[in-house]
A and B are shown apart, each in its own frame.
Chain A
Amino acid sequence: MSGPSLMDSLFQRTLEDLIKGLRQQLIGEQAFISKALEEIRKEIKSTDLSTKSTALLKLCYLSNLHFHDMSFAAFHALEVLSSPRFSHKKIAYHAISLSFHDSTPVLLLITNHLRKDLTSTNEFEVSLSLQCLSRIANVDLARDLTPEVFTLLSSNKLYVRKRAVAVVLRVFEKYPDSVRVCFKRLVENLENYDPQILSAVVGVFSELACKDPRSYLPLAPEFYKILVDSKSNWISIKVLKIFAKLAPLEPRLANRVVEPICYLMRKTGAKSLLFECVRTVVTSFSEYESAVRLAVGKIREFMVDEDPNLKYLGLHALSIVASKHLWVVSENKEVVIKSLSDPDPNIKIESLRLVMAMVSEHNVAEISKVLVNYALKSDPLFCNEILGSILSTCSRNVYEIIVDFDWYVSLLGEMSRIPHCQMGEEIENQLVDIGLRVKDVRLELVRVARDLLIDPALLGNSFLHRVLSAAAWVSGEYVEFSRNPLELMEALLQPRTSLLPPSIMAIYIQSAFKVLVFCLHTCFVRGGSTAGVSASASYESFDDLSVENGAGSTVAHGQTCTSAPITNESIVNLLKLVELALSPLLGSHDVEVQERARNLLGFVDLIKLEALNSSGQEENDSEQKGVEATKIIRMVHDAFSKELGPVSLSAQGKVPVPDGLTLNENLGDLETICSDIELPSSNTFSFGYPSEEKDVSSFSNLQIKEDSGQSNESTSLLAEHRKRHGLYYLPSGKSEVISNDYPPANDPALQGDNNDTASDLVKLTAESLVPKRKPNHSKPRPVVVKLDEADEKPVAVKHPESRDDSLSGAVLDILFGSEDILPTSSRSNLPSSNRKGKEKQHMITQVESKENVVGDGNSSSRRRKDHSHGKERRHRKKNAEERNETDRKEKESSSNHPRRQKSRQRAEEPLKVPPQTSVIPDFLL
């Protein structure tokens, strides 16, 4: 022993010293720890194993409770592991299972240590290494140590054996081929009478069955026996879990098992077991009326229990039942509603889910009313939970359950006024969405939007800004439904709008634009057509702003229900208001706001300019000018009056890519090209083409050919508006029109004109939507525009079945005892040709199986073949055992024929895992 290391070991601080020292540090804890770590780094290099292990233990402590990296000590841990002393080993194993992971570099070095300890005579050492293996096993370790674990599975030391059983699960997970070696022994352990072993085995099977229940159907008789005989609640719970997975696969099994489960449910005093019974019944035996009734009775007991745990679990179980038996929920409505005011947030949420499960189109109004009242009273968190679930339930499947949209829209308005409401974004989306989809509700929608806009107090609540933006958009887009557009204008331009974030401010200005155009249009175009001269006279009023009330400019038009008269005076005031409100915004820092304000003011100027010019010239000319102004207004109005429609989420994907166009995978260079353009607009019409500005302008070119620059601008604004709202306006219902009519861009020259084609597309889609939107007033429920592709729920995610599959495949192979076993890697799904050596056997068994086939009432030839497959297995020793087992079973119960049942179960399996093609002898069978 060298000098310094000796001194180290003499003056080394023990773990206790470290903890004590740490506890005395009130402030300098970090400094203390880093000093201790420094010491540890030194000590751990010592050659003395005691010093080393103490250092390792200290490091474990720091890593475990203070989260300091201990990966540097991986190799040292291995060194300690090689110590012959148990105390060192224990510390080393502890450190390893704490810190090792799949990418630890020294992981491979541990294999021999583990193997040595797994074969040790000291059962505690074996246990330590098993424990460690369960934590750090990777493919290599699992593969290399499978033989040792296999041996331990039949160890005569119970302590070791039950641990080995538990660890086998991890080995299977990592290395499915080990199933071929170990599975048989594992099954043998099922017949063990020692409760500890049994508990471990059942635990393993319940985990395995979770992943792929079908493979374990053949073992059902064994599980049944355990279920009936078990005295231990721990074991019963696990077996119930297995049956919950197996029963849905095999109805006759369910028939058999449901009785014992009900018996257990009645008899047991343990709440945990009782709950497991209840859960098993409600998840997997929901067709058995009597069982469900019994379970529901127990659930009710749970729900009214004082213990919040039972209450929670009762509600939870109820929500499982709810999916299949809704009556159960309505039967217990009172309890559920009462739980909404429980002090425990978890219980509240659970009961909220149940309440939402009860919602149907008949009661949605009442339930929402109750819930909104609850929302008003409860804390912010739960309030938003309630609002969120109302919103998501009502909007499910394109507002499936909503009949009265007027009611729903006003509910949305009401919800946004709830003080704690933070669901602004969702309400915004729904307001806009409903506006687009449901034509009949727009009148009410505009009313709700007006109420929201007009309330200056709402502007102060930042959570509501999103709602307000929707309200502004709605009132601008559907302004023709408004009772009083002037009032809307005032609301949109009120001074407190300065509290809004710029993006929403921009929407406000744009909406104001729309409202203004509408007002002018109603005033001059409709009214002006009847009184042409008076209109021109009214333009003069822009000069001195003193107006004689223009005769005949009061508008009455059939299309809307506008009741407030729009007079020349009001128009003048309106223009003044716009100028007043928007001129400060010309200096806004936000480009969007600035641009829109400039647009609107430009428009106002233009109107005024026309009037100005007209005043100075002859009557004839002025009339002409007036007409020109009217023309402009009309054109702008036309641009705005094009209806917007909902757009399919997948619409973009449907646009065929022109041949010559290359789509960039990486759009990183986009940023450098157009860093000054807002992000949301950069992904609109560009098919890998970054030039947005051109895009917009060329788009408008096509849109309205005869228009002047003025309307051009406004159309592009409209386009921008669409973009901002994510309405890409790509094909929806008539997508095939696009794909057919789309000009194939083979011509390289066309590449440059991509923008044009894109805008073409926009135009096309806009047209394609028009015929879809015909209101149907005869129906009580307003028409909700649906886009089939978009509103479909995305297809359920494919089940991950990479390794599980191979695992279950291996399990099946073992259970079938088929001779030809193939490594999982080369497993194929091709149906195999019959193996020659077995054909004779097939013939025999086929005959033999006929009685079964008749009994099953299943005569498909495919089935029969599989059946015979299942029979092959009987020639093997293990199967003989199983048969004995079933024979015993038959005596026990006469109601159902377990053997037949079993063979049927087996018969079904080969459907899933087809036999293998190449032959590898299995040394076990």
Chain B
Amino acid sequence: MIHFVLLISRQGKVRLTKWYSAYSQKERTKVIRELSGLILTRGPKLCNFVEWRGLRVVYKRYASLYFCMCIDEDDNELEILEIIHHYVEVLDRYFGSVCELDLIYNFHKAYFILDELLIAGELQEPSKRTVARLVAAQDSLVETAKEQTSSITNIIAQAANFTIKMLHKGYGPWGSNALHLESLLLVDVCTRLVDQH
């Protein structure tokens, strides 16, 4: 089984961690430190397997990211490489030519996709299309829920955002007018809120 999945950038920044076996927070930090020391130092044309604490870590570099999975000694290393590739392809399909920034800003999405792929440390879904469909379905579920709830708060938030902007610019060319305008807006917001609730 897969014990954990790590995504580490070339600079040693952690981009994603997923633990299928029990590791305490302290151990996690230690594991990552050890492994990034072990893996990032390896040259480009070496094999993709590292022995580590009686386990085996399979890693592969895609662009600036190292995808690492830790498996048992008798698991199939090549299969894991395929799983990693599979995951990258799914990410690619989802984000549309994925790059590190996508994963940085959508770190939770990367998790949810991984969750569709692997469960309890085993490969769950070998079909890329199915994974894409499942993720899209859940996304839409999230979105619809969000739209229902946030239509009200959205307006408020926008107004509030605007207010803040006014506040910030208030010390610029607007002069004393700004204060006036700002208070007007705030009053407006408040009345809206009172109406709603």
Asked if A234 and B123 sit within 8 Å, CB to CB, the answer is: yes
Interface residues in A, total, Cβ within 8 A: 68
A65-B74 in contact (CB<8A): no
Residue interface bits B122-142, CB-to-A below 8 A is 1, else 0: 111110000000100110011
A167 close to B15 (CB less than 8 A): no
Asked if A1 contacts B197 (CB within 8 A), the reply is yes
CA distance A614 to B154 in the complex (A): 112
Task: Choose among B72, B107, B119, B145 the residue that contacts A163 (Cβ–Cβ < 8 A).
Answer: B119
Measured CB to CB, the closest approach of chain A to B131, in angstroms, equals 11
- A57 close to chain B: CB less than 8 A: yes
Q: Within the complex, which residue of B19, B28, B126, B150 is in contact with A234, where a contact is CB–CB below 8 Å? A: B126
- Please tell me if the beta carbons of B45 and A343 are within 8 angstroms of each other in the complex: yes
Report Cα–Cα, A63/B157, bound state, in Å.
27
A94 to chain B, nearest CB (A): 6
A472 → chain B, closest Cβ, in Å? 38
B157 touches A10 (CB 8 A): yes
Q: How far is the CB of B61 from chain A (nearest CB, A)?
A: 13
Does A196 lie within 8 Å of B125, measured CB to CB? yes
In contact, A65 and B46 (Cβ under 8 angstroms): no
A308 to B119, CA, bound (A): 30
* Known A67-B25, A309-B47, A313-B78; further 5 A-B contacts with Cβ < 8 A: A50-B150, A94-B108, A308-B46, A309-B49, A343-B45
Interface segment out of the listed A199-207, A396-404, A804-812: A199-207
Determine the distance from Cα of A338 to Cα of B24 in the docked complex, in whole angstroms: 43
Count of A-B residue pairs with CB < 8 Å: 153
Interface residues of B in 1-21 (CB under 8 A from A): 1, 13-17, 19-20
Q: Within the assembled complex, what's the spacing in Å between the Cα atoms of A345 and B46? A: 8
From B25, B51, B107, B120, A169 is in contact (CB under 8 Å) with B120
CA A829 to CA B157, docked complex, whole Å: 69
Which residues of the other chain, A, contact B145 by a CB distance below 8 angstroms?
A: 85-87
Asked if A346 and B78 sit within 8 Å, CB to CB, the answer is: no
Contacts of A1 in B (CB 8 A): 197
**Are the C-beta atoms of A134 and B49 separated by less than 8 Å?**
no
Within the assembled complex, what's the spacing in Å between the Cα atoms of A135 and B24? 13
Tell me the residues in window 240-294 of chain A with beta carbons closer than 8 Å to chain B beta carbons: 241, 244, 271-272, 275-276, 279
Closest chain-A Cβ to B80's Cβ sits at a distance in Å of: 9
- A6 touching B193, Cβ below 8 Å: yes
Which of chain B's residues have a CB closer than 8 A to the CB of A98? 19
Are B78 and A60 within 8 A (Cβ)?
A: no
Do B49 and A166 touch (CB < 8 A)? no
The answer to the question of B79 belonging to the interface, with a C-beta cut-off of 8 Å to chain A, is yes
A9 at the interface (CB under 8 A from B): yes
Judge whether A131 and B119 touch: CB under 8 Å: yes
7 contacts between A and B (CB under 8 A): A19-B105, A60-B108, A87-B141, A87-B142, A200-B122, A272-B76, A309-B78
- Inter-chain contacts of B19 with A (CB < 8 A): 98, 135
Q: Are A166 and B119 in contact (CB under 8 A)?
A: yes
CB pair A343–B46 under 8 Å, yes or no, is: yes
Contact of A90 among B45, B142, B193 (CB under 8 A): B142
Q: By the criterion CB–CB under 8 Å, are B120 and A134 in contact? A: yes
Whether B46 contacts A344 by the Cβ 8 Å rule is yes
Query: A15 contacts which chain B residues (CB < 8 A)?
Result: 107-108
Q: Is the CB of B111 within 8 A of A65?
A: no
B142: A residues at CB distance < 8 A: 86-87, 90
A893 to chain B, nearest CB (A): 28
Instruction: Using CB atoms, name the residue of chain B closest to A48.
Output: B153
Question: Contact at B107–A87, with CB atoms within 8 Å?
Answer: no
Closest to A167 in B: B120
